[in-house]
Amino acid sequence: MLPRIILASLRTRKTSATLIVVAIALSLVMIVGIERLRHQVRANFASTVSGIDLIVSARGGPMNILLYSVFRLSDPTAGIRWQTVQHLADHPDVKWWIPIALGDSHRGFPVVATNYSYLAHYRYGRDRALSLASGEWFAGADQVVLGSAVAQRLGYRLGDDIVLAHGASGPAIIEHDNHPFTVVGVLAATGTPVDQSVHISLAGMAAIHSGGLFRSGLPPLPGQQADTPDSVNAVMLGLQRRTAVLSLQRELSRYKAEPLSAIIPGVQLQRLWRMTAVGENALRATSLAVLLVALLVLVSTILAALEGRRHELAVLRAAGAGRLAVYGVIVGESLFLTLIGSLLGLTLLFVAQWTLAPLALAEWSLRLPDSFLSLRELPTLAAILLAGSLAGMIPAEKAFRNSLADGLTPRN
Amino acid sequence: MVLELDNLRYQHPGQARPFIHIDHFALQPGERVLLHGPSGCGKSTLLSLVTGIRPARQGHIRVAGKPFSSLSQRRRDAFRADHIGVIFQAFNLLPYLSGVENVCLSAGFSRRRCERAGASNHRQRRDAAQDLLNRLGLDAATSVLPAWQLSFGQQQRVAAARALFGKPDLIIADEPTSALDTDSRDTLLTLLCEQCEDAGSALLMVSHDSQVADRFHRSVAFSALNGGGHHAA
Amino acid sequence: MRSLIICLCLLVSLPGWAARELEWDDLVPADYDVNQVYEQLFNKIYGDKPPEDVDDGDARGEQMMEAIDKAWREAPLKSELDNTVVRLPGYGVPLDGDEEYVREFLLVPYFGACIHTPPPPRNQIVLVKMKGQGVPLDLVFEALWLEGTLKVSSQDTEYGTAGYVLEGESAEMFSGY
């Protein structure tokens, strides 16, 4: 009987009920949406790199090194000489090494010069290796392998020729247009910055910066090693034993030939989370405030409607409704509205996720969440429903008191 | 006795002297009593006390032989659901429910009345409600319309049906015919008294119109009853 | 009846009982004295110069650091600890995981070495591989108790290199002894 009364009564107040439902839906979108996004961004960041023990670069801030070598988000300042790279490659503690050289771009996408080690040893997520969706890894100095997002966004296919621009980002002013590169491979999507990168060989980078000819088959200019640039920006290391991380890190910081910094990616990522935590908490507080406003709207709307419902309540009271029944009607109503609002909010969020997912992956290499509601979010939903019910308690008590004061017949 | 008032006193907050002051009043089972007096003299206040919506702090009220005024609010509400049917002057119904559903409200709050109506499930309740409405002159088609679509006379009859559902011991009516024209008034009263007789329910009706007294066993002037009470001019 | 209760009590306390609580000193073989090694190296490099006069830029300071590094790398392990269930407190250096949990990390006795102190010797570093989901991120940044099976390989082989590895079962916060 109670549900019938609640629903039928709400139907006479459709407009205000709809507004409340929308307000709650939007605040839920904010609360759950922000939390999901935050979680997803962290997950994306955290899964960008795995299995890498040290990243060695020119002496500089550890966060900066992480940002440019892994996330391609910042700009490297100096390079490390090839002799140092050689020293690392020959170091007894080092099992494998990946050189990374940055500095060029192609239509906004960063160019990464590296070697076969990248394909062989770079890992992301839970120890997942890179793989080629089509074609093969570059062999010659005029060959390029594209990340999946680059190929998709710019519509490149195997065999296409591209020209690289000098400078890490922005519109090209100086182009290496007499050294076009041919697309020989496209990597499978990873959901990491690898997708946004354009990969060339170290020889390729050496060639476009030294001004020398480099087409495969031609000998290098005197004094120039064919497949090595004079410097790279970072070297990613995998060690023979991980326990050597700390001592090697220390050793490299004292390297005499040039000033170096070696960072442990895991540690730096943790520091990153601590830094972003402040902003995240601010966002959380904001969305809680939004929910609070929505609930206040709920309370005030129900309270305002109470005046017009005095006869309604008098009828119920005369028929034998006690405090519990009155609460049932009013709190039941606010709970119902909160529930519908929450479901609407979750649906809106789900549709938004579904619609924006391909765009997010292509544009920002961001994998959006794809669930309607996850187990982790149940407590939040329960809390919102509880809050909505509690919001109804104030009008319910008022309604009951009114009925006592009105007696048998309310006189307006 | 179905209703007994003893030394009942009540004053509105802020009033110095009692508004209601009744030494004694009793109503027998099945008896129909008309309480007449001008508006504003306190009849509705008395009914609020008798139905237990307003707590009576001074004096005693017994309903169906049981102490009523000394019960807690919660118990009074439950007792009212089981034993008392109420009809107002107007606004008796939930406008968004149908006539049948409005009648079933009584059933919803009292299992006792369901049993007395012979209805043990939802379907039977509706049937019993429909039956009662028929006897009050409302057909099946009208009974399922939302209440706001009924004429005022029809609404009052639905209200009567709700009050009568489940054969309560006592029916309280607060000026149920005052807003009706003479013909409708007569119809409603005839039907109401008939059904009360049938069900064995006592009826205490309050009205400013003493002309309807012939359908009642007794007619009492409110001013006589409310001996010591002082009322607003 | 009483014996049954005693048995039950023993059974209940068994897990905690079975794990041997270690201190970092327990990971060092009895015959290896860190201070002695340090002194020997010091005397070898500095000869008769007293310790208070050591400064950073000194060439012999560099030599000292390198010698210590080398010595620490080759510090001996206690192979009899292999396959024991232990409980050990320490600080975590995260290596692998995701945004919520860390699955692989180094456990060390102290955190944030300054440039004047070298990193811990090989027998004071444990590589922890957690079973299951891993340790919550926030916990790894604090001091924690680790419980699991300690494995010691004292030789570098093709399957792995020498060092302490802990197959972690559980971790909880450490707030003092």
Q: Among all residues of chain C, which has the CA nearest to that of A265? A: C95
One-letter amino acid for residue A153 of the chain: R
Please tell me the distance from the alpha carbon of residue A184 to that of residue A138, in angstroms, as a whole number: 6
Contact A242 C120 (CB under 8 A): no
Predicted confidence at residue B233, as pLDDT, reads 41
- How many C-beta neighbours within 10 Å does residue A392 have? 25
Which residue, among A39, A88, A68, has the nearest Cα to A265 in the 3D structure? A68
Predicted confidence at residue A173, as pLDDT, reads 67
Contact C106 A243 (CB under 8 A): yes
Predicted confidence at residue A212, as pLDDT, reads 42
Contact A246 C108 (CB under 8 A): yes
Report the mean per-residue pLDDT for chain A. 85
**Residue B229 pLDDT > 70:** no
Question: C122-150 burial, b for 16+ CB within 10 Å, e for fewer?
Answer: bbbbbbbbbeeebbebebbbebbbbbbbb
User: Radius of gyration (Cα) for chain C, nearest Å?
Assistant: 20
Angle at B91 between CA B89 and CA B93, to 5 degrees: 120
**Residue B162 pLDDT > 70:** yes
Write out the two tokens for B189: 């009263």
Write out the two tokens for C112: 């944030």
Q: What is the mean pLDDT of residues B173-190?
A: 87
Looking at chain A, the whole-number percentage of residues with pLDDT higher than 90 is: 33
The alpha-carbon gap from B212 to the nearest alpha carbon of chain A, in Å, equals: 22
> C94 to chain A: which residues are within 8 Å by CB?
264, 266-267, 269-270
SS3 of B37-91: the string is: CCCCCCHHHHHHHHHCCCCCCEEEEEECCEECCCCCHHHHHHHHHHHEEEECCCC
> A150 near A237, Cβ under 8 Å?
no
pLDDT band at residue A241 under the 50/70/90 scheme: confident
Predicted confidence at residue A219, as pLDDT, reads 47
> A409 to chain B: which residues are within 8 Å by CB?
44, 88-89, 91, 174
pLDDT tens-digit readout, A126-148: 788 999 999 999 988 889 999 99
CATH architecture of B3-225: 3-Layer(aba) Sandwich (3.40)
pLDDT band at residue B83 under the 50/70/90 scheme: very high
Which residue, among B144, B137, B132, B1, has the nearest Cα to B62 in the 3D structure? B1
> A249 to chain C: which residues are within 8 Å by CB?
119
pLDDT band at residue A68 under the 50/70/90 scheme: confident
Q: Can chain B be said to touch chain C, i.e. do they have 3 or more Cβ pairs within 8 angstroms?
A: no
| Chains linked to A by 3 or more Cβ pairs within 8 Å | B, C
Please tell me the distance from the alpha carbon of residue B83 to that of residue A189, in angstroms, as a whole number: 74
The alpha-carbon gap from C18 to the nearest alpha carbon of chain A, in Å, equals: 27
Phi and psi at residue A51, to the nearest 5°? 75, 5
* A111 Cα distance to chain centroid: 22
Please tell me the distance from the alpha carbon of residue C164 to that of residue C98, in angstroms, as a whole number: 24
Burial label, A315 (beta-carbon count in 10 A; 0-12, 13-18, 19+): buried
Which residue, among B96, C75, B68, B164, has the nearest Cα to A4 in the 3D structure? B96
pLDDT tens-digit readout, C10-58: 666 555 457 888 888 888 888 888 778 888 887 887 776 665 655 555 6
> A401 to chain B: which residues are within 8 Å by CB?
none
pLDDT band at residue A218 under the 50/70/90 scheme: very low
C173's CB contacts (< 8 A; 6+ apart) are C139, C142, C143, C144, C145
> C98 to chain A: which residues are within 8 Å by CB?
43, 46-47, 125-126
**How does DSSP classify residue C157?**
B
Q: Is C141 helix (H, G, I), strand (E, B) or coil?
A: helix
Of A184-188, B37-41, C9-13, the one with minimum mean pLDDT is C9-13
> A407 to chain B: which residues are within 8 Å by CB?
44-45, 47-48, 53-54
Q: Among all residues of chain A, which has the CA nearest to that of C166? A: A243
DSSP alpha helices (H): ranges in A319-377?
323-364
Phi and psi at residue B196, to the nearest 5°? -65, -45
> C163 to chain A: which residues are within 8 Å by CB?
241, 243
- How many C-beta neighbours within 10 Å does residue B92 have? 25
Partners of residue A262 on adjacent β-strands:
A56
Q: What is the mean pLDDT of residues A259-282?
A: 86
Burial label, A159 (beta-carbon count in 10 A; 0-12, 13-18, 19+): exposed
**Residue A175 pLDDT > 80:** no
**Residue A249 pLDDT > 80:** yes
**Residue C156 pLDDT > 70:** no
Please tell me the distance from the alpha carbon of residue C114 to that of residue C122, in angstroms, as a whole number: 18
Cα A367 to Cα A155, A364, B156, C34, C89, distances in angstroms: 21, 9, 64, 50, 37
**Residue A265 pLDDT > 70:** yes
Q: What is the mean pLDDT of residues A264-272?
A: 85
One-letter amino acid for residue C175 of the chain: S
Range B132-140 contact pairs with CB under 8 angstroms and sequence separation of 24 or more: B132/B103, B132/B161, B132/B164, B132/B165, B132/B195, B133/B99, B133/B100, B133/B103, B133/B157, B133/B158, B133/B161, B135/B191, B135/B195, B136/B160, B136/B161, B136/B191, B136/B195, B137/B187, B137/B191, B138/B99
Q: What ipTM does this complex have?
A: 0.88
One-letter amino acid for residue C51 of the chain: P
> C161 to chain A: which residues are within 8 Å by CB?
240-241
Contact A320 B78 (CB under 8 A): yes
Q: Is A349 helix (H, G, I), strand (E, B) or coil?
A: helix
Which residue, among A403, A62, A124, A83, has the nearest Cα to A255 in the 3D structure? A83
> A111 near A102, Cβ under 8 Å?
yes
Mutate to test the interface with B, among A400, A409, A411 (most CBs of B within 10 A): A409
Contact B96 A320 (CB under 8 A): no
> C120 near C72, Cβ under 8 Å?
yes
Most confident of A102-116, A200-214, A340-354, C39-53: A340-354
Looking at chain B, the whole-number percentage of residues with pLDDT higher than 90 is: 33
Q: Which residues of A have a CB under 8 Å from any CB of B? A: 1, 4-5, 8-9, 11-12, 311-312, 314-325, 403-404, 407-409
Please tell me the distance from the alpha carbon of residue A80 to that of residue A76, in angstroms, as a whole number: 11
The alpha-carbon gap from A242 to the nearest alpha carbon of chain C, in Å, equals: 7
Write out the two tokens for C15: 């897990």
A327: left (phi over 0), alpha (psi -120 to 50) or beta: alpha
Q: Among all residues of chain B, which has the CA nearest to that of A315? A: B92
Contact A407 B45 (CB under 8 A): yes
Which residue, among A382, A391, A302, has the nearest Cα to A342 in the 3D structure? A382
Helices and strands: H and E segment counts in chain A: 12, 15
Please tell me the distance from the alpha carbon of residue C123 to that of residue C165, in angstroms, as a whole number: 11
Q: Which residues of C have a CB under 8 Å from any CB of A? A: 62, 65, 69, 72-73, 93-100, 102, 104-106, 108, 113, 115, 118-120, 122, 125-127, 137, 140-141, 160-164
Predicted confidence at residue C17, as pLDDT, reads 53
pLDDT band at residue A217 under the 50/70/90 scheme: very low
Task: Parse chain B into domains and list their residue ranges.
Answer: 3-225
Contact A403 B108 (CB under 8 A): no
Predicted confidence at residue A213, as pLDDT, reads 39
Predicted confidence at residue A224, as pLDDT, reads 47
Please tell me the distance from the alpha carbon of residue B119 to that of residue A236, in angstroms, as a whole number: 81
